[in-house]
Amino acid sequence: METFNRTPFLNPDLSFLNYLFLIKAVLVFGSLVYFLFSLIVIRQVDLLSKTLKTKVSPFLLAGAVLNSMFALALLLFSLLEL
């Protein structure tokens, strides 16, 4: 009697879907890391603007906040597409 291996990675019909899911999971993790990094950038820019007061400081902080908003949108989009 022949036994069939039910491992999805060995099934040619399902292996592509599992690899695609793995790629999507890695991209979601990457977007999460990017969002956390953008929060650290906001903190660093805030510390910089408190230490060194210039006319450009508000624009740098606004750019950091916009970057963080973009990272959050990317994270939400990647979670919805998972």
pTM: 0.76
Tokens encoding 72: 């959050």
User: Percentages helix, strand, coil for the chain, rounded to the nearest 5?
Assistant: 75, 0, 25
Q: Determine the Cα–Cα distance for residues 9 and 2; give it in Å rounded to an integer.
A: 19
Among the listed ranges 8-12, 15-19, 66-70, which one has the minimum average pLDDT value?
Answer: 8-12
Sign of CA dihedral 62, 67, 71, 77: positive
pLDDT of residue 22: 87
pLDDT of residue 7: 60
